[in-house]
């Protein structure tokens, strides 16, 4: 099924499939391709409207009777860490950060497999092989970095965590992160977010995009524990407030028809960036 705006790009809708976050529900995504000299501008513009990138595709949930998934980001200037987050920061202060071009390695894949097998063995990525992993990391038409965190163990470098990160015009977008499950007591997931806030602050970028927060989903609960989080809801960004105030209920009128959703999308100037 295809829906087209007066100018490129074209938007499509996926067939319904089981939701990975809320049991018993079906998910559907609105998506468009991301390619060419227009890609960076399009990614910047649609990220501000709740879209996320996966390789050369931008997508946003567009489920028939559910609007629970909310794009979340942290306001860097207003963020204040909690006591537990400060402890996580200190606990991982020994880790070395290294930002590289988006290039997959065998060490990254080994860590990725260990993470999936421990944390998401029944998830949609569970069967991903090394070639699919390489595509996830390397197939990016925009400014992306692989940020690795490693420790020195017995004189050798040991990979502890990895994050594939996009550089937007207004922030950092954490596309996908994973870490060593054997170090679960180090709160590495929290630390990687804290360090991205540090990187964004140093670069003068106002936001760190966390992906989707889903009220009612234990997998996503950690995102609401950060201060200064705002969510994209009903066409605008707003402070998350009390997470309990957001419903994960279903309703036949919870989402606009696809054609209306597409018509409401604001597109950037289609001229190339020249970079």
CATH number at residue 195: 3.40.630.30
As a whole number of angstroms, the distance between CA 53 and CA 151 comes to 29
131 and 26 co-located in one domain: no
pLDDT digits (tens, 9 = 90+) for 101-139: 999 999 999 999 999 888 755 656 767 899 999 999 999
35 and 80 co-located in one domain: no
- For residue 44, the enclosing domain spans 2-70+244-263
Q: Tokens for 2? A: 């295809």
As a whole number of angstroms, the distance between CA 148 and CA 141 comes to 21
pLDDT digits (tens, 9 = 90+) for 78-102: 999 999 999 999 999 999 999 999 9
Range name among 33-47, 94-108, 198-212, 249-263 with the lowest pLDDT average? 249-263
7 and 117 co-located in one domain: no
Cβ proximity of 44 and 167 under 8 Å: no
Chain-centre distance of CA 122, in angstroms? 20
Total tally of structural domains belonging to the chain: 2
58 and 98 co-located in one domain: no
pLDDT digits (tens, 9 = 90+) for 201-227: 999 999 999 999 999 888 888 999 999
| 105 within domain boundaries | yes
- 184 pLDDT exceeds 90? no
Tell me which H or E stretch contains 210. Answer: strand 207-213
Residue that wins the pLDDT comparison between 208 and 273: 208
- 275 pLDDT exceeds 70? no
Q: What are phi and psi of 160, to 5 degrees?
A: -110, -35
pLDDT of 6: 42
Average pLDDT, the chain: 90
């Amino acid at each position: 099924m295809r829906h087209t705006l007066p100018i490129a790009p074209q938007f499509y809708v996926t067939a319904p499939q089981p939701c990975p976050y809320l049991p018993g529900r079906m998910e559907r995504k609105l998506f468009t391709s991301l390619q060419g000299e227009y890609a960076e501008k399009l990614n910047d513009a649609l990220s501000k409207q709740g879209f996320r990138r996966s390789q050369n595709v931008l997508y946003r949930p567009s489920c028939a009777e559910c609007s629970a998934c909310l794009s979340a980001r942290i306001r860097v200037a207003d963020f204040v860490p909690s006591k537990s987050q400060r402890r996580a920061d200190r606990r991982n202060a020994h880790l070395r950060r290294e930002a590289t071009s988006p290039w997959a390695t065998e060490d990254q894949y080994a860590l990725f497999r260990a993470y999936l097998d421990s944390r998401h063995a029944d998830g949609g990525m569970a069967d991903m092989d090394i070639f699919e992993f390489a595509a996830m990391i390397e197939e990016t038409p925009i400014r992306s970095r692989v940020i690795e965190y490693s420790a020195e163990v017995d004189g050798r470098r040991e990979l502890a965590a990895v994050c594939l990160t996009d550089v937007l015009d207004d922030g950092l977008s954490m596309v996908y992160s994973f870490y060593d499950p054997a170090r679960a007591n180090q709160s590495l997931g929290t630390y990687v977010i804290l360090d991205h806030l540090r990187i964004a602050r140093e670069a003068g970028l106002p936001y760190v995009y966390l992906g989707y927060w889903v009220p009612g989903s234990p997998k996503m609960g950690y995102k609401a524990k950060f201060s200064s989080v705002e969510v994209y809801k009903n066409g605008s960004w707003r402070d998350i407030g009390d997470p309990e105030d957001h419903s994960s209920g279903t309703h036949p009128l919870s989402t606009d028809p696809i054609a209306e959703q597409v018509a409401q999308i604001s597109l950037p100037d289609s001229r190339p960036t020249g970079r």
